[in-house]
Amino acid sequence: MTTTGRDLPTAAENPSLVTACGRRIAVRCLRLAPADRPITRVTLDVGQDRGGEPGTWAALTADEARALARLLLRHAGLAEGGDGPVEPSRQGVVSS
């Protein structure tokens, strides 16, 4: 199995942000290329906090990444002064 670097953002695009609490969240495209079935995921890497506590990461399918984006946008709108919590669409979201 090999990984490919195609379609990855350039250094100038900076695919990460640093939150107010100091965590860096990096967003990347991971491509694994086994001979029988290529796998592509959107990865989120939440780095260590300022105190050195470890972060975490997730690998999402394209549909999962879009569902997460919808949830983030909805809640960002609510945080900016919306009318209160709204139940997000469950399409593409899997709960455990």
What is the per-residue pLDDT across 74-85, written as a single tens digit (0 to 9) for each?
Answer: 999 999 987 655
pLDDT of residue 3: 47
| Average pLDDT of the segment spanning 4-31 | 75
Sort 60 into a burial class: Cβ within 10 Å, 0-12 / 13-18 / 19+. Answer: middle
Q: What is the pLDDT of residue 90?
A: 53
Instruction: Answer yes or no: pTM beyond 0.85.
Output: no
What is the per-residue pLDDT for 56?
Answer: 93
Distance CA(44)–CA(77), nearest Å, equals: 22
CA–CA separation, 45 and 54 (whole Å):
11
- pLDDT tens digits, residue range 21-76? 888 999 999 999 887 888 999 999 999 888 888 889 999 999 999 999 999 999 99
What gap in Å lies between CA 92 and CA 76, rounded to an integer? 19
